[in-house]
Amino acid sequence: MVTYNVNLEGKTVLVTGAAGFIGSNLVKRLFKDINSIKVIGIDSITDYYDVNIKYERLKEIEALGCDWQFYQTSIADRTSLENIFTENKISVVVNLAAQAGVRSSGGVDSRGCATCGL
């Protein structure tokens, strides 16, 4: 059994990295454990591994029929993030966004340091 130190019932939770393994499982668990929760997912759907796996995870979440909204965008896109926060009353942010693997980040020294969204 999972215990939560914060009451999320009736709240809106933003989960970044929502199409990833951990993010998608967190979203499903939130819907399983908490009544009347709204979850907003963000993921850039990078192609480090098969994007169909990510889309399948999103379909599984959609099939739950819960209060779910997904945005395919990067947390580095400040304008997109500002719009998401303006359109939604977000109570909690769970930042699970990451560049999977190390090969895809090789040779790029400062790109990740420029992320200023969250």
Q: Provide the pLDDT for residue 115.
A: 55
Which domain range does residue 89 map to? Answer: 12-114
- Residue 75 within a domain: yes
The CATH number given to whatever domain includes residue 63 is 3.40.50.720
Q: What is the 3-state secondary structure (H, E, C) of the chain?
A: CCCCCCCCCCCEEEEECCCCHHHHHHHHHHHHHCCCCEEEEEECCCCCCCHHHHHHHHHHHHHCCCEEEEEECCCCCHHHHHHHHHHCCCCEEEECCCCCCCHHHCCCCCCHHHCCCC
Q: Per the structure, how many domains does the chain have?
A: 1
Lowest mean pLDDT among 7-16, 55-64, 108-117: 108-117
Q: Provide the pLDDT for residue 100.
A: 75
Between 25 and 1, the more confident residue is 25
pLDDT tens digits for 38-79?
Answer: 999 999 999 888 999 999 999 999 999 999 999 999 999 999
Query: What pTM value is reported for the model?
Result: 0.84
- Residue 71 within a domain: yes
